Structure 1
Amino acid sequence: MYEALLTEEMKPWRDLLLVHKFAVDEIRTRLSILDEEFRNIHDYNPIEHIRYRVKKFNSITEKLERLNLEPTVENAKNNIFDIAGIRIICTFTADIYSVVELLSKQHDFKIVEIKDYIKNPKSNGYKSLHLHIEYPVFLSSGIVPTRVEIQIRTIAMDFWASIEHKIYYKYREKAPKSIQRQLKECADLISDLDNRMYSLKHSINDLE
């Protein structure tokens, strides 16, 4: 990905992507340690699995154009906060807030913004919790505070979001209203399933 950005005029873009990659690499290590700690020390681990990505150059410039902004590095830095993305999948909704509390205790994870689409779902039924954090990347030239988006979802929320993304990718624009209605109904069913599974967990715990 970075080899294609080696021309002189593209180097600022290469540097932008590299620093976000470094941020993701460091946070991956931190989360892997927390994950392993929970698996080996605690009775219960709220994290099911973790995924990572850094947006490609084309994706960034396309998003800037959708925002009616010039495709410049400065505009990317100042307006796109999900160049680096991490997704944490949890078992239950309560685990999501446990992970948020866990991350808030990491002294170099500066939480800039929280978007809680669980308590306040999007109109299409989308649920997830988004953290925008600022993470210090240490380079030879100094410290670079770097924005990273962390999405935290349950398994069920992630399943719905993945299918919804594929449907909207197919249509490019908004899906027909009948599809939108069925997606919202599915989101409600999945939310109910999340709640029922969590209640079932508590019922089993009460029997122990």
Structure 2
Amino acid sequence: MVRRAIPEPEAFRELTTFMMVYKFGLAEIRTKIDILAEELAHRGSGNPIEHVNPRLKTPASITAKAQRIGCPLTFDDLRGRIRDIAGIRIVCSFVSDVYTVAEMLTRQPDVNLVVTKDYIAKPKANGYRSLHLIVEIPVFLSDQVVAVPVEVQLRTVAMDFWASLEHKIYYKHDATEISAALRAELAAAAEDAARLDQRMEGLHREIHGPRRPSPAYPRE
């Protein structure tokens, strides 16, 4: 039987400290999102946030990504090159809500927007749509303030539905072995989901009037 090596106490302590900072950063972002959702619901204007899913990469997942991108396994290199150790997915009702929530979050003075990748305006080749942000949030420790990067993914219910099932279709399967016809079908399904988003938002607008106008959000 192969036994897994037990980390040395000092190395284990350093790893715990490294991961703890990202856990705190994720908690800070989650609190901000919960406050926004509750405030909007209290206003009676409708909560644009359907649900929120935070996640923290495991050490094994971090190691795998580091090896994939050729990143040395040092804390400084991991901190500088892997920006999605902490991540949170915000699923919104409509496309306009995605940009509204993103604008509400990133205009807060202690949220520093670092990178924007707008896969709604410019979907990936496979049809994937989502708004990805890398933000930095200050975490106040006992002896220092650490700017922690957090990846924020914002998408609609339809986009989330497609992405979730697309992941299950590919799960534990080499993507290069998927036929061109099946890839085309998945991309067509993503187009169907996008049309559904437009149709449902149009119906909502007819009944309730226009949503809050989408801000001039920075896009790639």
Q: What TM-score bracket applies, with the shorter chain setting the length?
A: over 0.9
Checking the alignment, whether the CA contact within 8 Å between 1:50 and 1:86 is kept in structure 2 is yes
Aligned to 2:150: 148
Alignment-mate amino acid for residue 204 of structure 2: K
Which runs of 5 or more residues in structure 2 are unaligned? 1-5, 210-220
The 5 Å alignment of 1:4-19 reads 7-19=9-21
Provide the C-alpha distance between the structure 1 equivalents of 2:131 and 2:70, rounded to a whole number of angstroms. 27
Which runs of 5 or more residues in structure 1 are unaligned? none
Number of residue-to-residue matches in the alignment? 203
Normalised by the length of structure 1, the TM-score is 0.92
Aligned to 1:24: 26
Normalised by the length of structure 2, the TM-score is 0.87
Following TM superposition, by how much is the alpha carbon of 1:5 offset from its aligned partner in structure 2, in angstroms?
6.4
**Deviations along 1:12-59, whole A, 9 cap, x unmatched?**
222121000011112212211111111112322211111101100000
Checking the alignment, whether the CA contact within 8 Å between 1:5 and 1:14 is kept in structure 2 is no
Aligned to 2:192: 189
Instruction: From the two aligned structures, give the one with the greater helix fraction.
Output: 1
Stretches of 4+ aligned residues off by more than 6 angstroms? none
> Aligned residues: percent identity?
44
Aligned to 1:180: 183
Provide the C-alpha distance between the structure 2 equivalents of 1:28 and 1:198, rounded to a whole number of angstroms. 26
> RCO higher in 1 or 2 (8 Å CA, sep ≥ 6)?
2
What is the root-mean-square deviation in Å for CA atoms of aligned residues?
Answer: 1.5
| Matched residue SS, 1:171 | coil
Aligned to 1:204: 207
The 5 Å alignment of 1:29-108 reads 29-108=31-110
Checking the alignment, whether the CA contact within 8 Å between 1:88 and 1:152 is kept in structure 2 is yes
